[in-house]
Amino acid sequence: MKHTEFDAVVIGGGASGLSAAAEMSRGGASVAVVEREETLGGILNQCIHNGFGLHQYNEELTGPEYAERCIRDLDGLSVKVFTGMTVTLMETEEGTQLLYGFSRESGMVRFRCRAIVLAMGCRERNRGNLGTPGTRPSGIFTAGLAQRLVNIDGMVPGRECVIVGSGDIGLIMARRMTWIGARVRGVIEIQPYPAGITRNIVQCLRDFDIPLYLSHSITRIYGKDRISGVDVAPVRNAGGEASGAFHIPCDTLLLSVGLVPENEISRKAGVRLHPETGGPVVDARYMTSVTGIFACGNVLHVHDLVDYASEEARHCGQAVLDYLSGVSAGEQLRVGAGRNVKYVVPGRFALTGKNRFYLRSMITGTGARLCVRLGGIEVLRRKLPYVQPSEMISFDLAADEDAISSRFTTGGDETDLEVSLEIPEKEGA
Amino acid sequence: MKKDLICISCPIGCRLTVEGENPEKISVSGNRCPRGEIYGREEALAPSRMVTATVAIESEKLARLPVKTDRPIGREHIPSLLNQLYALELVPPVYCGDIILDDFAESGVRILATRTIEA
Ligand SMILES: Cc1cc2nc3c(=O)[nH]c(=O)nc-3n(C[C@H](O)[C@H](O)[C@H](O)COP(=O)(O)OP(=O)(O)OC[C@H]3O[C@@H](n4cnc5c(N)ncnc54)[C@H](O)[C@@H]3O)c2cc1C
Ligand code: SF4
């Protein structure tokens, strides 16, 4: 077994891992990035559509273009990259971290470092998570796998397809399948509203007259060797014979039913996970419950915009630099999700500097207000033009704002920060 | 003629009704703000889209090279553009930003590579 040593090792060479690595290297740390695939860039490489980088580069880039920028950002920095290598285990040993990577080329490699950055991204929920009855034929793919087959391997997964789930990945695959000559017979969404953004509903479904069945789900899968069709039924009349059920013949079923942070190895290392995000619980400096292990990007919580993932990764990289140079995190307050908020990341508020938070709404609508309370007293209120669960919200809160510092010095146990979304009462009638 | 559209200029997604054929006399309703009117007119008169696709490439590293149009093209041109792209077979090296097709169908639109594939 080979041995090697760095200040910090990043697991995952996607947008987040690369941004965190660049930040740490610029700050003078010796850094390695370990990536399972043969190339860097992560999920971006298969997302050939445009819509990336508007915040970060003020341009609308495709996924591979954004990935190339992230990779070029490493030029001139001494980040050591290990591609084709999978990290299988992490261990903590009295202030140092041990990490084991395995690759065809170099066999087993042991890394010793002072900090680890988790940046493994996320994976897709699959048929097992749906529990639809029926046979188990071939022709059932997650949408992301189909995307990879089409865009990277140049294969055609099928000719007549049905898509379950109206998230952006499913919608984008509806257009992509149509553009490679397949026919998409419908998109089935269990919720009463689409999960993806409006632009994708218009440009990926309406452009091709692909029907979207809201409040519907698939109830049975048919087919012996290859899938031959699915039953679709409205979800309103639960129990008994659902009226309005119908059958769609197809040879391919794409599932776009959600993403889950990839935390198998984190869990084994004792990293505590958050029940809502599925990612690690982190403090204001992106440190997990294990000292020296940090997390950012989709492994922390699923991001819809890569720009946010990169930005978060840079903050994380900065925090690691502080940690490496022995700067203490200082005092931190707890941060909790209040009304209409699914979760807030990070889960702690630092009493020095600026804190940036990311949250997910549980409601859809115009004119919502973001309210932040410290010990029950409002310290920030902001109008949001439009909120919906699929679009992440971010905001900044500086610790030295009067409202906060005066509030905090009053002491007591009212030191939780609570973030909620409120819809104001309708004015007069 | 009447068209029902959804404005995509912001996440609110107003439902627009666009009436009239004559560019001078087109009317847009349902929009909450002026951007919706601009979108509604353009979408009704000359809908255009960015196209991203892949092209075959003879490389051991990758089977397909991702490409994009350098600006939106008229929707009616998309099928013939895709057919042209799918008929190509490139040889590396290709660099991100290289022109794969210049002036598609005399529209002035270029097709650019969106990834680098070294020889
Ligand atoms: C299909 C899809 C469409 C999207 N569309 C858009 C869009 O239009 N616009 C936009 O802004 N954003 C979009 N996003 C979001 C954006 O792409 C992501 O938020 C961002 O790329 C996530 O980057 P990441 O580095 O956190 O994760 P990833 O890119 O997933 O990187 C994680 C990397 O870690 C590696 N890895 C995992 N486990 C290990 C291990 N044990 N050892 C070694 N390596 C490991 C993986 O191979 C992978 O390369 C989309 C996301 C998806 C999934
Ligand atoms: S009309 Fe204005 S408010 Fe409505 S979706 Fe378009 S841009 Fe948004």
Closest ligand to Cα A60: 1
Decide which of A329, A352, A386 is a domain's last residue: A329
3-state secondary structure of A32: strand
Residue of A nearest to B76 (CA): A207
Instruction: Give residue for tokens 């949001």.
Output: A384
Check if A148 has its Cβ closer than 6 Å to any atom of ligand 1.
Answer: no
Question: Which two three-digit tokens encode residue A262?
Answer: 């990839």
Residue among A50, A67, A150 whose CB faces B50 most closely: A50
Token pair 């992440």 is found at: A392
Q: Are strands B15-19 and A8-11 parallel, antiparallel or unpaired?
A: unpaired
Say yes or no for a CB contact (<8 Å) between B66 and A62: yes
A284 shares a domain with A175:
no
DSSP label of B25: G
Q: B5 alpha carbon to ligand 2 midpoint, in Å?
A: 12
Question: For residue B96, is it left (φ>0), alpha (ψ between -120 and 50) or beta?
Answer: beta
Are residue A280 and residue A318 in the same domain, yes or no?
Answer: yes
- The answer to whether position A65 is within a domain reads yes
In a domain, A429, yes or no: no
Atom of ligand 1 nearest to the CA of A46: 1
- Report pTM: 0.93
Q: What's the gap in Å between A122 CA and the centre of ligand 1?
A: 7
- Short-list A86, A71, A80, CA closest to A35: A86
Q: Which ligand is nearest to the CA of B16?
A: 2
The answer to whether A268 and A120 are in contact (CB under 8 A) is: no
Give the pLDDT of chain A (429 residues) as one tens digit per residue.
899 999 999 999 999 999 999 999 999 999 999 999 999 999 999 999 999 999 888 899 999 999 999 999 999 999 999 999 999 999 998 789 999 999 998 899 999 999 999 999 999 998 777 778 888 899 999 999 999 999 999 999 999 999 999 999 999 999 999 999 999 999 999 998 899 989 999 999 999 999 999 999 999 999 999 999 999 999 875 555 556 899 999 999 999 999 999 999 999 999 999 999 999 999 999 999 999 999 999 999 999 999 999 999 999 999 999 999 999 888 888 999 999 999 999 999 988 788 999 999 999 888 899 999 988 888 899 999 889 888 899 999 987 766 666 655 544 444 588 999 998 765 443
Coil vs helix vs strand at B119:
coil
As for the ipTM of the complex, it is: 0.94
Q: What's the alpha-carbon Rg for chain B, to the nearest Å?
A: 19
* Nearest ligand 2 atom to alpha carbon B33: 2
The total number of structural domains that make up chain A:
3
If asked whether residues A6 and A109 sit together in one domain, one would say yes
Measured CA to CA, the distance from residue B88 to residue B54 in angstroms comes to 10
Planar angle of CA A384, A386, A387, nearest 5 degrees: 95
Contact with chain A for residue B15, Cβ under 8 A:
no
In CATH, the number for domain B52-113 is 3.10.530.10
Is the domain of A30 the same as that of A116? yes
Q: Mark A240-259 as b/e (b = at least 16 C-beta within 10 Å).
A: eebeeeeebebbbbbbbbbb
Domain of residue A357: give its range: 335-422
Residues 6+ positions from A264 with CB-CB distance below 8 Å: none
Do A386 and B56 count as a contact with CB atoms less than 8 A apart? no
Which of A298, A312, A316, A392 has the most ligand 1 atoms within 8 A of CB, as the residue to mutate? Answer: A298
Of B49, B54, B61, the CB nearest to A154: B54
Relative to beta strand A332-337, strand A348-350 is antiparallel
Ligand 1 site, residue A87, Cβ cutoff 6 A: yes
